[in-house]
Amino acid sequence: MNAHAGEFDHKDTRRFKHTRIGIWDLYEERQTLACKRISSILQTYTPIIYSVPLLVRMLKDVLSIKRCSILLPAYFVVEVLASLIPAVSLWYSGQLLRLVEGVMEARTVDTTVLVHFAAAHVICAVAMRFLKYSRDCMMPRLSLYIKQFYNERMLLSAVRLDLPAFQTLYQLLARIAIILLRLLSCLLVLSTVMWEQQDGLLLVVLSFLQYLLPWDSTGKAVVGSLARYVVWAATTTNENFICMQGLKELITDPSHRREFVAGNFSEHISARFREASQRIGHDAVEFPELNRFRSFKDCLSITFIIREIMHVLPQIVFALRVVKNPMTTPLSLASLILIKQVFDPFSSTDFSTSSMLAGLATQLSITRKVYNMENIRNKVVDGTEPFPENQQSLANGICIEFRNVSFQYPGRDRCALRNVSFKIEAGQLCVVVGVNGSGKSTILNLISRIYDPTEGTILIDDRDIKTLKLADLRAAMSILFQDYSQFPLSMRENIGLGNPALAREDDKVHEAARLGDAEDFIDELPRGFDTYLDCLVYNYHGDLPEGTTTLFGHPVDSSPRNVVGGVHTTGAPGIQISRGQAQRLAILDMDYSNSSRTFMRSLVSETESSAGMLLFDEPSASLDPTAEHGLFERLRKLRGNKTMIFSTHRFGNLTRYANLILYIDETVQEKGTHDELMKKGGEYARIWNLQAKSFIQ
Applying CB under 6 A, among 40, 238, 355, 442 the residue interacting with ligand ATP is 442
Residues in the chain: 697
d(CA 345, CA 17): 40
Cβ 5 to ligand ATP, closest distance in Å? 22
* Helices H / strands E in the chain, number of each: 24, 18
Sheet holding 477-480, edge to edge: 477-480, 613-617, 643-648, 429-433, 660-665, 667-672
d(CA 612, CA 479): 11
Quick one: which segment of 98-106, 218-226, 436-444, 491-499 binds ligand ATP (CB under 6 A)? 436-444
Is 600 within 8 Å of 496 (Cβ atoms)? yes
DSSP state of 3: P
Quick one: which segment of 51-59, 164-172, 252-260, 434-442 binds ligand ATP (CB under 6 A)? 434-442
Quick one: which segment of 169-177, 269-277, 288-296, 409-417 binds ligand ATP (CB under 6 A)? 409-417
The burial class, CB within 10 Å (0-12 / 13-18 / 19+), for 520 is: exposed
Cβ 437 to ligand ATP, closest distance in Å? 4
d(CA 235, CA 27): 9
Cβ 668 to ligand ATP, closest distance in Å? 13
Cβ 409 to ligand ATP, closest distance in Å? 3
Cβ 423 to ligand ATP, closest distance in Å? 20
Nearer to ligand ATP, 440 or 597 (CB): 440
440 makes contact with ligand ATP (CB under 6 A): yes
Applying CB under 6 A, among 86, 314, 427, 434 the residue interacting with ligand ATP is 434
Closest by alpha carbon to 656, among 636, 642, 640? 636
Angstrom CA distances, 462 to 3, 16, 188, 390, 467, stand at 46, 57, 77, 14, 11
Quick one: which segment of 329-337, 408-416, 533-541, 687-695 binds ligand ATP (CB under 6 A)? 408-416
d(CA 400, CA 207): 78
Quick one: which segment of 169-177, 439-447, 567-575, 583-591 binds ligand ATP (CB under 6 A)? 439-447
Nearer to ligand ATP, 354 or 442 (CB): 442
Residue 149, H or E segment: helix 111-156
Cβ 430 to ligand ATP, closest distance in Å? 15
Cβ 439 to ligand ATP, closest distance in Å? 4
Cα three-residue angle 615-621-625, rounded to 5 degrees: 110
Quick one: which segment of 124-132, 334-342, 343-351, 431-439 binds ligand ATP (CB under 6 A)? 431-439
Nearer to ligand ATP, 515 or 664 (CB): 664
Nearer to ligand ATP, 409 or 521 (CB): 409
436 makes contact with ligand ATP (CB under 6 A): yes
291 makes contact with ligand ATP (CB under 6 A): no
Cβ 393 to ligand ATP, closest distance in Å? 30
DSSP state of 644: E
DSSP state of 505: -
Cα three-residue angle 21-23-25, rounded to 5 degrees: 60
Residue type, 32: T
Cβ 440 to ligand ATP, closest distance in Å? 4
Is 136 within 8 Å of 232 (Cβ atoms)? no
Other CB atoms within 10 Å distance of the CB of residue 300 = 8
Quick one: which segment of 184-192, 383-391, 438-446, 675-683 binds ligand ATP (CB under 6 A)? 438-446
Nearer to ligand ATP, 442 or 569 (CB): 442
The burial class, CB within 10 Å (0-12 / 13-18 / 19+), for 297 is: exposed
439 makes contact with ligand ATP (CB under 6 A): yes
Cβ 252 to ligand ATP, closest distance in Å? 25
Cβ 621 to ligand ATP, closest distance in Å? 9
Is 610 within 8 Å of 393 (Cβ atoms)? no
Cβ 670 to ligand ATP, closest distance in Å? 15
- The DSSP code sequence of 376-426 is PPPSS----B-S-SSGGGGGG---EEEEEEEE--TT-SS-SEEEEEEEE-T
Applying CB under 6 A, among 60, 377, 379, 412 the residue interacting with ligand ATP is 412
Tell which positions 643-672 bind ligand ATP, by CB under 6 A: 649
Other CB atoms within 10 Å distance of the CB of residue 629 = 15
Residues linked to residue 570 through DSSP beta bridges, in sequence order: 539
448 makes contact with ligand ATP (CB under 6 A): no
Nearer to ligand ATP, 279 or 650 (CB): 650
Nearer to ligand ATP, 265 or 422 (CB): 422
Nearer to ligand ATP, 441 or 598 (CB): 441
Is 142 within 8 Å of 68 (Cβ atoms)? yes
The burial class, CB within 10 Å (0-12 / 13-18 / 19+), for 218 is: middle
Quick one: which segment of 265-273, 297-305, 430-438, 668-676 binds ligand ATP (CB under 6 A)? 430-438
d(CA 287, CA 241): 12
DSSP state of 238: -
Cα dihedral sign, 616-621-624-625 = positive
Applying CB under 6 A, among 330, 437, 500, 573 the residue interacting with ligand ATP is 437
Applying CB under 6 A, among 367, 428, 438, 499 the residue interacting with ligand ATP is 438
Cβ 504 to ligand ATP, closest distance in Å? 35
Cβ 649 to ligand ATP, closest distance in Å? 5
Nearer to ligand ATP, 440 or 510 (CB): 440
Cβ 653 to ligand ATP, closest distance in Å? 18
619 makes contact with ligand ATP (CB under 6 A): no
Applying CB under 6 A, among 265, 304, 409, 521 the residue interacting with ligand ATP is 409
416 makes contact with ligand ATP (CB under 6 A): yes
Angstrom CA distances, 652 to 620, 626, 639, 655, 691, stand at 11, 13, 19, 6, 8
Cβ 434 to ligand ATP, closest distance in Å? 5
Nearer to ligand ATP, 97 or 479 (CB): 479
Question: How many residues sit in the footprint of ligand ATP (CB under 6 A)?
Answer: 12
Give the pairing of strands 563-564 and 567-570: antiparallel
Cα three-residue angle 303-308-309, rounded to 5 degrees: 100
- Contact residues: ligand ATP, CB under 6 A: 409, 412, 416, 434, 436-442, 649
